[in-house]
């Protein structure tokens, strides 16, 4: 008896299915990013926002300031604020003061949605580079994996800490001072 093959997916159906799957994962990632902003992402996001804040018009700058006040509010213990004002908030306040001080006319720039998209993308890249990515491992780790199974993860961790400490050497200095005390 000869059984005829049944057509499961045609070319059009396959394109539709691939687009649907792609859209589903893009939507899921967007929801996850909105709900699950980690502190590393938030701080990187606001740092990038601070770089571009002077490009906004007055209305968007005021809206940005109200959002920044909510998001970057100081931690309070016993009603007293702890810490200093975030540099982005200082930059926004300085820009508002400069614009309200006299003859300043804002020309050009962009809108808040564009700056939000740019900052979110850059913040995500920053956080992505903080964590270990197995796809970026180097080949020497493959040769040593039998004797040292996690050598690539340890090597990448040491490399990342070294890079972060060279970018901001103040913690090393503070540790050295405390150690010698």
pLDDT for 153-178, tens place per residue?
888 888 888 888 888 888 778 878 88
Interval 119-138 mean pLDDT: 73
Instruction: List, in order, residues 6 or more apart from 126 with CB less than 8 Å away.
Output: 40, 41, 44
My answer on whether 100 and 147 are in the same domain is no
Angle at which helix 58-71 crosses helix 39-52, to 10 degrees, equals: 160
pLDDT above 90 covers a percentage of the chain that reads: 8
Report the domain count for the chain. Answer: 2
pTM: 0.55
Q: In this structure, are strands 75-77 and 80-82 parallel, antiparallel, or unpaired?
A: antiparallel
Q: Indicate whether 32 belongs to any domain.
A: no
The CA distance from 164 to 157, in Å, is: 11
Q: Is residue 2 part of a domain?
A: no
Whether residues 121 and 62 share a domain: the answer is yes
d(CA 123, CA 70) in angstroms, rounded, equals 19
Non-local CB neighbours of 69 within 8 Å, separated by 6+ positions = 89
Q: Are residues 67 and 94 in the same domain?
A: yes
175 lies in some domain: yes
In whole angstroms, give the CA distance from residue 156 to residue 93. Answer: 39
Q: Are residues 99 and 164 both part of a single domain?
A: no
| pLDDT tens readout for residues 11-43 | 567 777 778 877 777 776 666 655 566 778 888
Identify the pLDDT of residue 12: 66
Structural domain of 107:
38-125
- Write out pLDDT tens, residues 59-112: 899 999 998 888 887 767 777 777 788 889 999 999 888 888 877 777 778 889
Residues 82 and 43 in one domain: yes
Is there a domain that residue 99 lies in?
Answer: yes
Interatomic CA distance for residues 88 and 165, integer angstroms: 22
DSSP-based three-state secondary structure for 75: strand
In this prediction, residue 120 carries a pLDDT of 87
Q: Indicate if the pLDDT at residue 143 is higher than 80.
A: no
Task: Let me know whether 115 and 53 are in one domain.
Answer: yes
Residue 21 lies inside a defined structural domain of this protein: no
């Amino acid at each position: 008896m000869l059984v005829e093959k049944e057509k499961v997916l045609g070319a059009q159906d396959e394109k539709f299915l691939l687009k649907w799957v792609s859209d589903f994962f893009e939507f899921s990632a967007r929801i996850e990013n909105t709900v699950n902003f980690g502190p590393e992402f938030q701080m990187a996001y606001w740092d990038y926002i601070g770089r571009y804040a002077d490009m906004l018009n007055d209305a968007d700058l005021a809206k940005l300031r109200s959002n920044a006040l909510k998001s970057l509010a100081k931690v309070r213990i016993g009603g007293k604020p702890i810490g200093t004002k975030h540099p982005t908030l200082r930059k926004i306040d300085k820009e508002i003061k400069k614009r309200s001080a006299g003859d300043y006319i804002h020309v050009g720039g962009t809108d808040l949605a564009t700056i939000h998209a740019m900052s979110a993308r850059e913040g995500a890249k920053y956080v992505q580079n903080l964590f270990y990515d197995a796809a970026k491992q180097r080949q020497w780790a493959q040769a040593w994996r039998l004797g040292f199974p996690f050598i690539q993860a340890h090597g990448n961790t040491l490399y990342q800490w070294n890079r972060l400490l060279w970018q901001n050497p103040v913690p090393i200095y503070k540790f050295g001072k405390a150690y010698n005390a």
